[in-house]
Structure 1
Amino acid sequence: MRYLELYAIRVSQPLSDFYLASIKARDLLKLTFSEKLEYMDENGKLKGNQRKIDERRLKEIGKYIDSVEMSFPNSIILAANYSEEGELVDDEKYRWDIDSVEENLYKIIIPSDKKLAAVIDGQHRLMGFGEKYLPDQSKLDVELPCAIFFDLPISYQAFLFATINGNQKRVDKSLALEQFGFNVEDEPQHTWTPEKLAVFFTRRLNFKDSPIKGHIKIAPKISSALEKQVFATQKEWSISTATIVEGILNLITSNAKRDRVEMARENIWGNRTRKMVDSFKNDKSPLRQEYLDKNDEYIFKVIFNFLSAAKNTIWKDYDPKSYIFKTVGVQALFDILKRILQHERLTEEYEFETYLETAMKYDFSSSSVQASGIGRRDIRNAILYSTGLVDEKPLKPEDLKKIKDFER
């Protein structure tokens, strides 16, 4: 049973699409979270992602809410599908989702009352509805306008927070640097966690000359039905930032959260170093050693060359309906890159085109492809089969039949 369904309109802006909806204060208090910025020790180590709660301000807001003239026309800004631990939520049982109703009218589906939406801006307005500051709890039925971003990477949450609040009160730079990777270029390179390096590479691929320049968008993971609907009108393909970041992460770490937590034990301006995660000997990610050795340009070159090969082969005949340009297709391509790196000795140059050109015989716009994990598996199997990289795990007869169906 779904916890809540909301009607919303989509707003498209350069940073990302977001959705405008109204949500009752009582529901927002259940569904959202924010963590105040605190010092952990005398050396200035930080945790949290919001400014310190101002008790005096909250009391004033509570009195204002209790008045007959109360009005909050400004939106509370939310980042949906993140846990309180800062992890992107992939479980479909809990993820907030979007369905299309009609032109520019959508339905936001919230499956449960778990706290899976971070408050980017408006925490004091929302907390003012708390029982401590608002004795008259009947006001909890007041609706509040919300701007909801889906799957917005944490580094961009910090960017948005800093931009919105920059003219009101300067955001502590240490907060942005320590917690979110915002302006990661300002940090010592040897302190970059795998997540920060992946975000840095993703920005570089999107804004510098690269095979996917301008094709990376901070967009939500949408439902299968909605993804199929956009095929008919989409003129240019795009992929979410989260998809590229996760693809890069799988090359350099088997557990990004573990690495982040371990490296957070030291300050970035102190003893933090990538060697802090060298002790995880069970991490067999193919470019793990290059990450530990800070050979970032080599890692980027490998990724760049692979994407260039994709552009010259499997992406060459552009078809906007092909799933090879969608989330499942790009995820599958990164799976292929990982498999190649696991099988081949690291060399200065990779002949990736020799792997991908064999898959040009497949048509991944086939109706048999699914916009789900199954679709990712099917595309990956087809490419692996064409390259001969599936010898260690023979495919099942039904998988071979699916591959046959993809042939042009």
Structure 2
Amino acid sequence: MREFELELAAIAVSQPIGDFFITSIPARDLVEISFADVRRLVTDERDIERYLGIQRPLSTRRVKEIKKYIEGGDATFPTAVILAVDERCVEFDEKASGCGLLKLYAFDPEAGVDEDSIPWERIAKVLDGQHRIAAFMDEKTHEYSFGDREFDINVAVFVGADVSEQASIFATVNLAQTKVNRSLVYDLTELAKTRSPYRTCHNVAVALDDEESSPLYERIKRLGTATPGRRREPLTQAAFVESLVAFISTDPVADRNRQLAGKKLRRASVGELAVCPFRNMYIDKADVDISEILFNYFDAVRQKWPRSWINLETSGNLLPKSNAFKALMKFLREDVYPDIVGSDFGLIPSTRQFYKYFKDLDFRDSDFTTKNFSPGNSGQAMFLKMLRGEVTREDLLELD
């Protein structure tokens, strides 16, 4: 006896990987019927755990990010969540040209059906998209958590695929497709009509990259790949935007959603500005002031180490690159700017004021090498210690 049933308009699709159905399922129903299966394999060679086949482990951080995104007024998931459904739980009534009615159902477990019957809450195995589905759930009850809000999810349903076929589908989706570069994502924010922290940071990056007198002129790799006609772009737009947005907001997605809904942001107190020093400038739409502060700050860096700053051809030169930039931005946000302005956040310091924080550092142009500052987070941390005077040039030479 059928106890639960879901009827969906669907299109049958035939591709080399196999036949499947394209349909739309309300998020509430998708939460009810789906589950994720994580398979673990321990390799003898490295004695480490690798996850194969069906799904990656759930990332709580990623789920929270998506949940915030869903709360926005323009949330969308145009790409399909991929499900595998047992053939015992599916019927398809084809009408014409592949269109038809797809029925997903489960049996009442108390109706005496065979012991292998599949319960309603486990008829759809998630091959790709578990984080999107989890974002619609309450993290404690695992029930739908968005009240009466309607949100349809585009899904691809594979019927009767065994474990090896499911693994093949997972690998095809997650390994064969190229991920979108973060720099390109930030560049596309220019097309947005609503003001947001990320859009402002993108606009500042564009302004400093386009201005010929700027210390960052033509140094920012805007689309994640080299810009035609430029000799070298050592700084990614992703590194620029992600470093600058910390000056503006502790939760840029929530700020964007509030502004998208037509709500005003509350001005920051002096204590809050100690964490996000450019927040009120952002609220006041003073993007030009933000650009000028960064212009003057990096002009001071350029004056302190002119040969390293201009030398974009030597691959081992750290100073122009993203890791050094991130350290310099953290130094500006946590140390330099608050020290200069006191409680007068919004002030635009001059290049001379910024230069005072570099003039006594005993590091030379020739010191910014991967030998002294290794690539990655450790080199970035060492660079920040150098800026703060916690390590000296002699310290690095001793490490050699």
TM-score between the two structures when normalised by the length of structure 2? 0.52
Letter in 2 for 1:293: D
Of 274, 285, 293, which aligns to 1:294?
Answer: 285
Q: Percent identity, aligned pairs only?
A: 14
- Structure 2 CA distance for aligned equivalents of residues 297 and 341 of structure 1: 17
Whether 1:135 and 2:160 are equivalent positions in the alignment is: yes
Determine the structure 1 residue equivalent to 2:185.
Answer: 155
Of 238, 243, 257, which aligns to 1:242?
Answer: 238
Between Structure 1 and Structure 2, whose CA radius of gyration is higher? 2
Determine the structure 2 residue equivalent to 1:9.
Answer: none
- 8 Å contact 2:215–2:298 — kept in the other structure? yes
- Structure 1 CA distance for aligned equivalents of residues 133 and 209 of structure 2: 27
- Structure 2 CA distance for aligned equivalents of residues 82 and 406 of structure 1: 50
Determine the structure 2 residue equivalent to 1:67.
Answer: none
Determine the structure 2 residue equivalent to 1:195.
Answer: 198
Q: 1:333 to 1:35 in 2, by over 3 A?
A: closer
1:32-65 deviation line (CA, Å, top 9, x unaligned): 99989x997xxx9332342799x9xxx9599xxx
1:350-399 deviation line (CA, Å, top 9, x unaligned): 413343344452612151322232322221222232xxxxxxxxx4xxx4
Whether 1:356 and 2:358 are equivalent positions in the alignment is: yes
- Structure 1 CA distance for aligned equivalents of residues 332 and 248 of structure 2: 12
Whether 1:282 and 2:272 are equivalent positions in the alignment is: yes
Secondary structure of 1:3 counterpart: strand
Secondary structure of 1:272 counterpart: coil
Structure 1 residues 148-187: aligned runs within 5 Å? 148-149=178-179, 152-153=182-183, 155-156=185-186, 159=188, 181-184=189-192, 186-187=193-194
Structure 1 position 298, deviation (Å):
0.9
Of stretches 201-210 and 302-311 in structure 1, the one that deviates more from structure 2 is 201-210
1:260-301 deviation line (CA, Å, top 9, x unaligned): 315524535xx333x346479534222233223222211110
**Number of residue pairs the alignment of both structures matches:** 265
- 8 Å contact 2:183–2:236 — kept in the other structure? no
1:64-97 deviation line (CA, Å, top 9, x unaligned): xxxxxxxxxxxxxx9xx99987xxxxxxxxxxxx
- Structure 1 CA distance for aligned equivalents of residues 205 and 258 of structure 2: 26
Structure 1 position 237, deviation (Å):
5.0
- Structure 2 CA distance for aligned equivalents of residues 154 and 215 of structure 1: 16
- Structure 2 CA distance for aligned equivalents of residues 82 and 239 of structure 1: 31
Determine the structure 2 residue equivalent to 1:309.
Answer: 300
Structure 1: 5+ residue runs without aligned partners? 6-23, 63-77, 86-122, 160-180, 221-234, 386-394
Determine the structure 1 residue equivalent to 2:260.
Answer: 267
- 8 Å contact 1:366–1:406 — kept in the other structure? no
- 8 Å contact 1:207–1:214 — kept in the other structure? yes
- 8 Å contact 1:381–1:403 — kept in the other structure? no
Structure 1 position 331, deviation (Å):
1.1
Q: 1:370 to 1:219 in 2, by over 3 A?
A: farther
- 8 Å contact 1:262–1:276 — kept in the other structure? no
- 8 Å contact 2:296–2:349 — kept in the other structure? no
- Structure 1 CA distance for aligned equivalents of residues 206 and 258 of structure 2: 27
Secondary structure of 2:179 counterpart: strand
- Structure 1 CA distance for aligned equivalents of residues 182 and 323 of structure 2: 18
Whether 1:213 and 2:217 are equivalent positions in the alignment is: yes
Secondary structure of 1:294 counterpart: coil
Determine the structure 2 residue equivalent to 1:373.
Answer: 377
Determine the structure 1 residue equivalent to 2:247.
Answer: 251
Q: Pairwise CA RMSD of aligned residues?
A: 4.8
- 8 Å contact 1:364–1:379 — kept in the other structure? no
- Structure 1 CA distance for aligned equivalents of residues 247 and 255 of structure 2: 19
Letter in 2 for 1:3: R
Of 332, 336, 340, which aligns to 1:340?
Answer: 336
- Structure 1 CA distance for aligned equivalents of residues 315 and 340 of structure 2: 32
Letter in 2 for 1:260: V
Q: 1:348 to 1:357 in 2, by over 3 A?
A: closer
TM-score between the two structures when normalised by the length of structure 1? 0.51
- 8 Å contact 1:152–1:218 — kept in the other structure? no
Structure 1 position 323, deviation (Å):
1.9
Structure 1 position 311, deviation (Å):
2.8
Determine the structure 2 residue equivalent to 1:75.
Answer: none
Letter in 1 for 2:355: E
Q: 1:83 to 1:382 in 2, by over 3 A?
A: farther
